[in-house]
Chain A
């Protein structure tokens, strides 16, 4: 792999840019691998990367039914934050956020991490109490957040209308080290680094069956033939239920559509990420100038990658009330992704009833921010059979009633 650097750019500029190679190879699948990861999105590629980097396991294939990073990794609103209430959530999300800080250097690929800060608005008294509590919890967890009053909110966010008719802004939870990153670059950077370690990223290769012998996984059958493996990692987000069904077990997962939309590009308007959970909308501005906006999920099971119109209508109506300046901005495009929701809205990183199969899913509406931490913990779980970061997120918690209830703690958007 040729390293990217200022020197390389200068050298290629003199050679008419004819010396750039492929960022990752497009190999034919081998008959057998030590580890197969299903799903070449952010979480799957990060898992493979840390398997190689931290544990020296490089005989790995990453199978992808579509194209690399074409699922939720390419469909999210790119927000990175770790201001969670529960200890186990804060630990894994903060690990992810801290890995994002020097991910560009680590991967030698610019993921454009922009620690611009994230502000979660409190617009009801119960939200004020909730976020004050989260700020205290974060202080104990070593996550740097602070509760700020309305004056500071106005300072951070001049376009805000503090005294909205329905929901006045009473303050907010501010995480200065939160931010955004270029979502595609995260997948591409991991893919390039994995390919460089000798791992095979096999696109257009859909898993059609899971082969087992004596309660243990032996491989997968795919649209490009049968491939053997010792360990199988399922990292397929919205399709986790479909894959689990092929392997003969069920997951506490329901797949629903989550939508996002961007506006036409405008001059710099907002230089932080803002989330308004009471009215249910969140917004940031991309480097191109588009406002990137997300809202709530549909309420019914859906695999169609299309959401209902009334949800985006509701999200925009709510945002316009708090940010009247955007009322005349035209929306450019809108899309949906299929998110995997668990009963307690927390992820699953776990062994499964089939020996050798591990599952990493249930990130629901907030997976992008977790990619490096999720990969780090899941790689450790797959390599060693246990991981301190992943321990609390096992499937057992649904039998034991040991929930990590972020649906209550984080409100709705998370």
Chain B
């Protein structure tokens, strides 16, 4: 059972209170995208065995979307942060690097 903290309302709760929304930081290609780019936007996923950035919604709480950094092997949650960003904030990246020496943002992508 995962325990996540919603960065929007500050509530820590079990995963049943949240709804998983898949990989975070996926760039939507605009007009003029090729078929391959649009396929990748829709379907291609990093699906890493390790550090994963993902979207969650506080479905049975404040209802807001947010992002989480989590390990898909140990299920350890490194932290949660606002969805209003294009990449994970420095504090989250530091928290991951502290637990996973050698890990850098971009290396997993």
> What is the interface of chain A, defined by CB distance below 8 A to chain B?
239, 241-242, 250-255, 299-304, 306, 308-310, 342-343, 398-400
Distance in Å: Cβ of B44 to nearest Cβ of chain A: 5
Interface residues on B, range: 20 to 34
Inter-subunit contact B75/A399 (CB<8 Å): no
Inter-subunit contact A254/B75 (CB<8 Å): no
Q: Knowing A310-B1, A398-B42, say if A302 contacts B47 (CB, 8 Å).
A: no
Report the separation of the CA atoms of residues A300 and B24 in the bound assembly, to the nearest whole angstrom: 12
Inter-subunit contact B72/A253 (CB<8 Å): no
Picked from B20, B46, B49, the residue with its CB within 8 Å of the CB of A300 is: B20
Report the separation of the CA atoms of residues A164 and B23 in the bound assembly, to the nearest whole angstrom: 38
> What is the interface of chain B, defined by CB distance below 8 A to chain A?
1-2, 15-16, 19-20, 22-23, 35-36, 39-40, 42-49, 52, 54, 70, 72-75
Query: Can you offer 19 A-B residue contacts whose CB atoms are under 8 A?
Result: A239-B49, A241-B47, A241-B49, A251-B44, A252-B45, A253-B47, A255-B49, A300-B20, A301-B23, A302-B72, A303-B49, A304-B74, A304-B75, A308-B2, A310-B1, A310-B15, A310-B16, A398-B39, A398-B43
Residues of A within 8 A of B73 (CB): 303-304
Residues of B within 8 A of A310 (CB): 1, 15-16
Report the separation of the CA atoms of residues A315 and B19 in the bound assembly, to the nearest whole angstrom: 18
Picked from A250, A301, A309, the residue with its CB within 8 Å of the CB of B44 is: A250
Inter-subunit contact A299/B19 (CB<8 Å): yes
Report the separation of the CA atoms of residues A303 and B43 in the bound assembly, to the nearest whole angstrom: 19
Residues of B within 8 A of A308 (CB): 1-2, 15
Inter-subunit contact A254/B47 (CB<8 Å): yes
Residues of A within 8 A of B36 (CB): 399
Inter-subunit contact B16/A301 (CB<8 Å): no
Q: Knowing A250-B46, A252-B44, say if A301 contacts B54 (CB, 8 Å).
A: yes
Inter-subunit contact B40/A254 (CB<8 Å): no
Report the separation of the CA atoms of residues A306 and B72 in the bound assembly, to the nearest whole angstrom: 11
Distance in Å: Cβ of B89 to nearest Cβ of chain A: 21
- Having A250-B44, A252-B44, A301-B23, one finds 10 other A-B pairs with CB under 8 Å, namely A250-B46, A254-B22, A300-B2, A300-B54, A301-B72, A304-B75, A308-B15, A310-B15, A310-B16, A399-B35
Report the separation of the CA atoms of residues A255 and B52 in the bound assembly, to the nearest whole angstrom: 12
Distance in Å: Cβ of A406 to nearest Cβ of chain B: 15
Inter-subunit contact A302/B39 (CB<8 Å): no
Q: Knowing A304-B73, A308-B1, A309-B1, say if A399 contacts B45 (CB, 8 Å).
A: no
Report the separation of the CA atoms of residues A123 and B101 in the bound assembly, to the nearest whole angstrom: 52
Report the separation of the CA atoms of residues A357 and B44 in the bound assembly, to the nearest whole angstrom: 18
Inter-subunit contact A255/B72 (CB<8 Å): yes
Distance in Å: Cβ of A310 to nearest Cβ of chain B: 5
Inter-subunit contact B47/A301 (CB<8 Å): yes
Inter-subunit contact B2/A242 (CB<8 Å): no
Residues of B within 8 A of A302 (CB): 72, 75
Report the separation of the CA atoms of residues A253 and B16 in the bound assembly, to the nearest whole angstrom: 24
Distance in Å: Cβ of A210 to nearest Cβ of chain B: 16
Best-surrounded residue of A250, A308, A399 (most CB of chain B within 10 A): A399
Residues of A within 8 A of B49 (CB): 239, 241-242, 255, 303
Distance in Å: Cβ of A78 to nearest Cβ of chain B: 27
